[in-house]
Amino acid sequence: MLKYTIRRLLLMIPTLFFVALITFALAKAAPGSPFDKNPDKPPKQEIVDRWNKFYGLDKPVPEQFVMYMNNVLHLDFGTSIRRQRPVSEILGQGFPVTAQLGIQALILALAVALPLGVISALRQNTMVDYGSLFFATVGTTIPSFVMAIFFIYIFALGLHLFPITGWGTPQHMVMPTVILALGAAAFLARITRASMLEAIRQDYVRTARSKGLREQVVIVGHVLKNAMIPVATVVGPAAAGLITGSFIIETFFSVPGIGREYVLSITALDYPVIMATTLLYAFFIVVANLSVDLVYGMLDPRIKVAK
């Protein structure tokens, strides 16, 4: 287990390097410049040349990439072109907000999905099961920005229950958290239901029932334990997706997290923020996948993770 973990951690280095390389190449291939966003009042060429020299944009692209990676190794992510502030400071202020939103959405998604999936499987082909399938279908097919529009129209503009923009109070957190959790809850509910149905039909469950064990003991002690293994494999990527994929919701509700900052940096071609945020997102996804593999090996003794 320890050797496997160390090997996977070492594999993070080339993974993050190629993420940085591809992101840097795509950002440089984008048309335009971060200094020509106002065509009505373009800056003087002398000022543009001074900015290019300050940010190192006057050098060849390969040299720029080498310089950037050297700075990253020293934990220097540069200065934001758009905001004229250190990128590490921007991420340090925005990441706690994004993490809080993602964790709240994950807790809500698990609290809804797991009981719903279990009950749906235990009462297959009933109205509860059909309602669960309807929720799962709607939650996975309707995009989050469409749900955001509906929520704003009904609960903010219609009923005046929650504010549309801002962050910091429970009223501001309700709509972003619920909308972000809906897709994950629907997906996890479908996985839980399918895993429960598969586990219920296994031979060891029939054997446990034939021994006269109570149904509650069979479900909790045998079915749930094995049905949660496939669920655990998707919770990690789902958690990483909620924490790193909230930029649409943050932009809609003006949540001051790194997701909204990421969107604004793309429109402004703010290369340092784009690079740092992408690397941060990639890091969390890699860590989440590693955590899932380790947890999967601990839950299922048949899996030899060390091999």
Residues sharing a CB contact under 8 Å with residue 94, sequence separation 6 or more, in sequence order: 256, 257, 258, 260, 261
Nearest residue to 279 (alpha-carbon basis) of 43, 23, 10: 23
- Assess contact for 231 and 224: CB atoms under 8 A: no
Domain parsing of the chain, residue ranges:
2-73, 88-299
Instruction: Evaluate if residue 138 carries a pLDDT over 80.
Output: yes
Instruction: Evaluate if residue 173 carries a pLDDT over 80.
Output: yes
Q: Give the DSSP letter of residue 34.
A: T
Q: Give the DSSP letter of residue 86.
A: B
Q: Check residue 306 and give its pLDDT.
A: 47
Q: Which of 1-5, 50-54, 88-92, 243-247 has the highest mean pLDDT?
A: 88-92
Distance in angstroms (rounded) separating the CA atoms of residues 274 and 271: 5
Q: Can you tell me whether residue 214 is helix, strand or coil?
A: coil
The whole-chain average pLDDT of the chain stands at: 83
Nearest residue to 190 (alpha-carbon basis) of 118, 128, 122, 141: 118
Find the helix packing angle between 224-244 and 170-200, rounded to 10°: 150
Residue range 284-307, pLDDT digits in tens: 888 887 887 777 766 666 655 444
Residue with tokens 């594999």: 11
Q: Can you tell me whether residue 79 is helix, strand or coil?
A: strand
Q: Check residue 112 and give its pLDDT.
A: 92
Q: Can you tell me whether residue 137 is helix, strand or coil?
A: helix
Cα distances from 258 to residues 68, 97, 102, in angstroms, run 20, 8, 12
Report the pLDDT averaged over residues 254-262: 86
Q: Check residue 22 and give its pLDDT.
A: 92
Instruction: Evaluate if residue 2 carries a pLDDT over 70.
Output: yes
φ/ψ of 154, rounded to 5, equals: -85, -55
CATH 3.40.190.10 fits 88-299, yes or no: no
- Three-state DSSP string of 248-273: HHHHHCCCCCHHHHHHHHHHCCCHHH
